Amino acid sequence: MSTTGPSVTLTLGRPVHAQALSYTAMYRAKPFREALLVYREGGTYTILSPGEDHHGCWVSATTPLDPPRHVSFMSWPSADWDRDVAAHTLVFAPDTGAFTQELRLPGESVPRAQHGFAVSVADPGSIDTTEGWAVLRGRHRDAFARVRALAVGSAGASSDG
């Protein structure tokens, strides 16, 4: 008896937008403060962090993507999610760089809340995700410094008020 079913071949589109993310509240099982989110043409994406490297599809409730405002993501089965899927909805506040994220996992009735800050990465078309997290983090260090400054600044502002 075969355990494999029909297959589908997908092609990842070329990068059309990218964001450096800095989380200020995270899902405990994925404690990666930084991530690079690469939006691709045709509605595919790649996300990389110190512990994630997977693909999926996205749809934006608003256009254009620069800046994104309300985007839904569905990861494809990957080792990152125990060979299962995960759904994420991110709502961005372009004026502050802040975002909220709702994570839904199969079989869990309560969504997980996360939030942080995002900045656009220059020249997304030049991103080659096969280079991996460490190389891309170094290449886009300026974007990660900008997003980290937003996150640190918001922590200071919230503790003052």
pLDDT tens for each residue of 78-98: 988 889 999 999 999 989 999
Does residue 138 belong to any structural domain of this protein?
yes
Does residue 6 belong to any structural domain of this protein?
no
Q: Which domain holds residue 138?
A: 15-122+129-154
pLDDT tens for each residue of 97-148: 999 999 999 999 999 999 999 999 999 999 999 999 999 999 999 999 999 9
Does residue 83 belong to any structural domain of this protein?
yes
CATH of the domain at 133: 2.40.128
pTM summary value: 0.90
Domain count, the chain: 1
Q: Contacts for 89-96 with beta carbons within 8 Å, 24 or more apart? A: 92/67, 92/68, 92/118, 94/67, 94/69, 96/150, 96/154
pLDDT tens for each residue of 15-57: 999 999 999 998 887 778 999 999 999 999 999 999 999 999 9
State the Cα torsion 95-139-61-44 to the nearest 10°: 180
Does residue 7 belong to any structural domain of this protein?
no
pLDDT given for residue 160 in this prediction = 34
Does residue 80 belong to any structural domain of this protein?
yes
Does residue 161 belong to any structural domain of this protein?
no
Does residue 64 belong to any structural domain of this protein?
yes
